[in-house]
Amino acid sequence: LVLPALTRVTLLGKSLRECQKIYIRLKDQLFDGRKRPYDSETLTKFIKDEIGAETTLADITGKRFIITTVMADKHPIRLHLFRNYTLPVDTEVAANLRFDDPKGEIRFWLQLFKSSNLRTLLSNELTIHCS
């Protein structure tokens, strides 16, 4: 569950070897036994320290990417796409397509939580809101 989120760190220019080292450090700090749930504050701090607390999707340049998730708090559940680029269309058209500005308020570390099952491992609820 953590590994898919961690592999997205390669988008920040980290090598696979660096990601492996990050994963091993995370394992040592977070997974201290078989008892679940794990401490969410430890994981949140670790991820913020590794990728930056203020890093947004727009900060990741050189590659265009889309990361998928669902908005399960909506009914019916709907697909949500995180992108690091803007559409070459009018702002109103982009809004009608539910295309969020990558320079918006969603930080990359929050997006990692939203698009993975990390929340199922954690001790306290991490609420993430997205428009």
Query: Domain of 109?
Result: 2-121
Choice among 28-32, 98-102, 117-121 with the minimum mean pLDDT? 117-121
- Domain membership of residue 131 (yes or no) is no
Q: Are 77 and 34 in contact (CB under 8 A)?
A: no
In angstroms, the CA 74 to CA 20 distance is 35
- Domain membership of residue 130 (yes or no) is no
Q: What is the pTM of this model?
A: 0.63
- Domain membership of residue 127 (yes or no) is no
Residue 4 predicted with pLDDT over 80: no
pLDDT (tens digit, 9 = 90+) per residue, 71-92? 777 788 888 788 888 888 888 8
- Domain membership of residue 65 (yes or no) is yes
- Domain membership of residue 62 (yes or no) is yes
**What's the number of domains the chain is made of?**
1
Angle in degrees, 0-180, between the axes of helices 16-30 and 40-51, rounded to the nearest 10: 150
